[in-house]
Amino acid sequence: MRTRPLKVALLGCGVVGSEVARIMTTHADDLAARIGAPVELAGVAVRRPSKVRAGIDPALVTTDATALVKRGDIDVVVEVIGGIEPARTLITTAFEHGASVVSANKALLAQDGAALHAAAQDHDADLYYEAAVAGAIPLIRPLRESLAGDKVNRVLGIVNGTTNFILDKMDSTGAGYQEALDEATALGYAEADPTADVEGFDAAAKAAILAGIAFHTRVRLDDVYREGMTEVTAADFASARAMGCTIKLLAICERAADGGSVTARVHPAMIPLSHPLASVRGAYNAVFVESDAAGQLMFYGPGAGGAPTASAVLGDLVAVCRNKLSGATGPGDSAYARLPVSSMGEVVTRYHISLDVADKPGVLAQVATVFAEHGVSIDTVRQQGRQDGGGDASLVVVTHRASDASLTGTVEALRNLDTVRGVASIMRVEGE
C-alpha cells in the first residue's frame, strides 16, 4: 500500500457533503485498504465559513473554491454544491489542474454532460456521478459496465422520491394532491418550493442522463418530454384501481421497436399492481431495466438523503482514486451510437381516457368512430351514468398501443364532438 495519501477537495458541505466528510473520517482505514492508499481531506469549500461543522477541521474550510481546485496537489475533487454555476466552472478548472471529479449534480450533468465529459477526456481525468441518479442505488455503474455487453431497450424508473411519496400517500389514503404534498413538506420529503420535483424537472434531468448511458447516445435535457404530477387526482387513482393499476411518476427511456431511434420522457402513468415498480413505497426509488440478453432487472433503494447519496459518492471516490493510482481512467462517456432522439409524438404506448359525455344513445358510436379515424384501436370501454343525475355520463376508454401523435389527434377531435362535454383525464398506461 502506498503511504502518500491521495488528496481530496470537497466542494460543498451541506446535506451530502457533510456525510461524505464524516464517512471519509470514520471509515478512513477501510477506504485506504480498498483504494490501496490513504485518502486525505485536503480542503472543504463552502459559502458560510463561520458555520460550525462537526468533525471538520476549521483550518480546511475555505470560501475560495476556485483557489482550492487550482492548488495543483488535489487528486480528486468531489463536487456536492449543486446547480450550474459555479459548479461547472469549478469542475472544468479541476480537470485543467490534473484532478478527477466525482459529482452528485444531476442538473449540471443533464445540461452539460457532453462538454464536461469532453473536458475530462482532454485531461485524461475521470468524471463519475453515480449519486446524480437515484441516490444510493447503483445504477450508472451497472448500466455503463455490467450491461456493457448487452443491448438495453427500456429503462422505466421511479427516480424522484418526493413525488413517489406524494403519489403513494394519495394511493394509500385517498388524499388529494395538495393534502399529500402538505404532508410531504411537513415531513421534510418536499422542499418549500417543490416545483423541481412535482413538475418533473428533477426526473427529466435523470431521464436524460439514463437515456444517454443506456443507449450510448447524446440525449439533451430538451429532448426529454416532461409532464408533472400536480394534476393527478383521487379520481385518477380510483380509475387506476378499477384497472388493477396504481399511478407513478415515471422516467421512461425507450428504444423504438425498429431500434433506429430512442425517446425519453417523464410523466405520471398507470402501471399494473403486479409490476415490481408498483410496490415501491414512500420516498424509495427503483429503476426497471429491460435488455436483450439479461431480460428484466430492477434496482431498488433510497433515492436521496445525505448518507445514501454519500454512499454513492464514496463508491465513485474509491474507483476514481484506484484509477489515479493505476494511471488509467474508467469507462467514460459513450455516445458512439448517435441514435436520433424522437419527439413525444412518436412514442407508442397505451392510454386511459376519461370523457364526460351526454347520456344519450349513439354517443359511444360517435366516440368510437373518432378513435377509428385516427387509427387508435380501443381495448376496453366502460360507460357509466353519473352520480349527480345531470343527464351526463362518463366514458372510460382504454386503448391498444398507439402513437402519442395519433392520441393527441384523437383527443382534439373528441373535444369537437358536441356530445363530449369534456376530457376529464388522459393517462398513459405503462409496464405491461
Ligand X SMILES: NC(=O)c1ccc[n+]([C@@H]2O[C@H](COP(=O)([O-])OP(=O)(O)OC[C@H]3O[C@@H](n4cnc5c(N)ncnc54)[C@H](OP(=O)(O)O)[C@@H]3O)[C@@H](O)[C@H]2O)c1
| Count of residues near a second copy by CB under 8 A | 58
| 132-171 binders of a second copy (CB under 8 A) | 136-138, 141-142, 145-151
Contact 140, 316 (CB under 8 A): no
| 242-281 binders of a second copy (CB under 8 A) | 276, 279
Active site residue 206: yes
Ordered strands of the 6-11 beta sheet: 61-62, 39-45, 6-11, 76-79, 100-103, 127-128
Partner from a second copy, ligand X, none binding residue 149, C-beta < 5-8 Å depending on class: a second copy
Q: Find all residues with CB under 8 Å of 238, minimum gap 6, and list them.
A: none
Residue ranges of E strands in 303-389? 348-358, 378-385
Shortest reach from residue 276's CB to a second copy, in Å: 7
d(C-alpha 324, C-alpha 275), whole Å? 42
Other CB atoms within 10 Å distance of the CB of residue 369: 12
**Taking CB positions, which residue lies at the least distance from ligand X?**
14
Other CB atoms within 10 Å distance of the CB of residue 432: 12
Partner from ligand X, a second copy, none binding residue 134, C-beta < 5-8 Å depending on class: none
Shortest reach from residue 178's CB to a second copy, in Å: 29
Shortest reach from residue 135's CB to ligand X, in Å: 5
Q: Does residue 5 interact with a second copy by CB under 8 A? A: no
Query: Which secondary structure element, helix H or strand E, spans residue 116, and what is its range?
Result: helix 106-122
289 versus 304: smaller Cβ distance to ligand X: 304
Convert residues 292-331 into a mask of x (bound to a second copy by CB under 8 A) and - (unbound). Answer: xxxxxxxxxxx--x-xx-xxxxxxxxxx--xx--xxxx-x
d(C-alpha 291, C-alpha 416), whole Å? 42
d(C-alpha 303, C-alpha 251), whole Å? 14
Partner from ligand X, a second copy, none binding residue 268, C-beta < 5-8 Å depending on class: none
148 versus 238: smaller Cβ distance to a second copy: 148
> Scanning the structure block, which residue is given the C-alpha cell 462538454?
115
Shortest reach from residue 197's CB to ligand X, in Å: 11
d(C-alpha 391, C-alpha 9), whole Å? 69
- Among 58, 63, 102, which residue's Cα sits nearest to residue 86? 63
Shortest reach from residue 30's CB to a second copy, in Å: 7
User: Which residue numbers are catalytic?
Assistant: 206
Binding positions for a second copy, rule: CB under 8 A: 19, 23, 27, 30-31, 33-34, 130, 136-138, 141-142, 145-151, 216, 276, 279, 291-302, 305, 307-308, 310-319, 322-323, 326-329, 331, 334, 336-337
